[in-house]
Amino acid sequence: MKRLFIGYPNSYEIIDHIKDRLQKELDTLEEDKKRGISWWSEDRFARYMHERYVYRQQVKELDILYKEVEQAELLEDSAIGNFEDEPPF
């Protein structure tokens, strides 16, 4: 099995990887819709809408998680004192 990450991945890489895979799934759904929506039954259209909704919700949650990771990293940096723009006093 091919490794997804080289070395130890950080949380940003993991979140970006998951978002990319979800976006690929959304793109695949959209392509399927473009190719065959005229032959879809109501059940197939409802399944498409549900899958699209779930994938979009997951992407939104990952965006929120990304912001949480950024805030946690900033908080950790401020606690350690690793800010480059800190005044020298």
Cα–Cα distance, 38 to 21 (Å, whole number): 27
Per-residue pLDDT of 32-61, as tens digits, reads: 998 888 888 999 999 999 999 999 999 999
Cα–Cα distance, 53 to 17 (Å, whole number): 20
pTM above 0.85, yes or no: no
Q: Which residue has the tokens 């779930």?
A: 54
Q: Give Cα 89 to chain centroid, integer Å.
A: 40
Domain ranges of the chain: 11-79
User: 18-32, 35-49, 73-87 — which is least confidently predicted?
Assistant: 73-87
